[in-house]
Structure 1
Amino acid sequence: MAQRWLTDDQQRTWRNYLVLTSRLQTAMNRQLQARCGLSLADYEVLVALAEHGPMRVLELAAELDWEQSRLSHQLSRMRTRDLLERRGSEQDGRGATVEITAAGRDALVTAAPDHVELVRSVLFDGMTQAQARGFDEVVATALRRL
């Protein structure tokens, strides 16, 4: 069977995408750390809890598309900093529920404006509306294929 390689254009696009995602994650992490002492992982957890309210740990793992072990370690670190509370589930004794605390909400409120501005300035300010719609279509198509 013949091996099918990426074309030069595809290779350039793929490499640019990898560099973009890596640099953007690094920039977001640095900004969050400097502004309010949060990691990007902290921010992602806080956003999910703020949007959905208290969640079972398994539901949160699914929402974030994280392995349960990664989430457990992340939640432990965040709990020691009073960013969230973890309680035994009221529905059954096996699961646990996670909820954002007042300190977690305050950290999110502090972090969000700069985070949004960074994403907007890097991604969207340089695009036309048609490019933004096309970018959204490309991302949505790739996500559906995964």
Structure 2
Amino acid sequence: MTPPWLDETQQRAWRAWLTAAELLPRELDAQLQRDAGLTHAAYIVLAMLSEAPGRSRRMSDLARRANQSQSRLSHTVARLEDRGWVRRERSTEDGRGNLAVLTDAGWDVVRSVAPGHVAAVRAALFDPLTEQQTQALCEVLETVVQGLDPDASRRVAHGSDVAG
């Protein structure tokens, strides 16, 4: 038995999602490159560190929060270290894990770049929407996330943050 095809509305929604998922990161990456010479992936690493207690996270936790493989994160952190924005150190808790630590210079970068990034997120995603559409988008995405991760074991909690 052949599974049913998407109906016309589902097809339009799916294709709109695919296009938005392609264009939005590209738009945010361009803004960060223009304003700070940063990739979006590098900015997310800085932002995740800026939100952490002591501005540090275990590399494994940071990889998960930044949605990067351990290998990719290692390269990203190395580039941020070269700029003096992050340093690595051994965990004092167990001596086994490695931490990425946001330096004062890195914190200054996050604070200077965040307002432009938030403005870019707002312009690209929220400005075209009415308040009701924004509420509906929030509810729809939360419903999709709940379906993908019903026990919340796969997701990373995101509170209010400087990342935008």
Note whether the superposition's TM-score is higher than 0.5. yes
RMSD of Structure 2 on Structure 1 (CA): 1.4
Match for 2:64: what amino acid? A
Which residue identity does 2:92 align to in structure 1?
Answer: E
Does the alignment pair 1:31 with 2:3?
no
Distance across 1 between alignment mates of 2:12 and 2:48: 33
What is the count of residue pairs matched by the alignment? Answer: 146
* Deviation, structure 1 residue 135: 0.4
Which structure has more relative contact order (CA 8 Å, sep 6+)? It is 2
The letter of the residue matching 1:108 is V
Q: Secondary structure at the match of 1:5?
A: coil
Per-residue deviation, 1:91: 1.5
1:96 Cα offset (Å): 0.4
Verify: 1:6 aligned to 2:11, yes or no.
Answer: no
C-alpha distance in structure 2 between counterparts of 1:145 and 1:75, whole Å? 33
- Report if the CA contact (8 A) 2:57-2:101 is conserved: yes
Alignment match, 2:80: 78
Counterpart-to-counterpart distance in 1, 2:124 and 2:61: 31
Aligned to 2:141: 139
* 2:69 is equivalent to residue 47 of structure 1: no
Compute the displacement of 1:64 (Å). Answer: 2.4
Large movers: runs of 4+ above 4 Å: none
Stretches of structure 2 that go unaligned for 5 or more consecutive residues are 149-164
DSSP 3-state at the match of 1:4: coil
Higher relative helix content: 1
Q: 1:69: which partner in 2?
A: 71
Identity of aligned residues (%): 39
- In the alignment, the residues of structure 1 paired with residue 21 and residue 8 of structure 2 have an alpha-carbon distance, to the nearest angstrom, of 20
Deviates more, 1:37-46 or 1:123-132: 123-132
Give deviations 1:33-60, integer Å, cap 9, x for gaps.
1111111011101111111121111111
Amino acid in structure 1 at the alignment position of 2:82: T
Normalised by the length of structure 1, the TM-score is 0.92
Gap runs ≥5 in structure 1: none
Structure-2 separation of matches of 1:82 and 1:4: 54
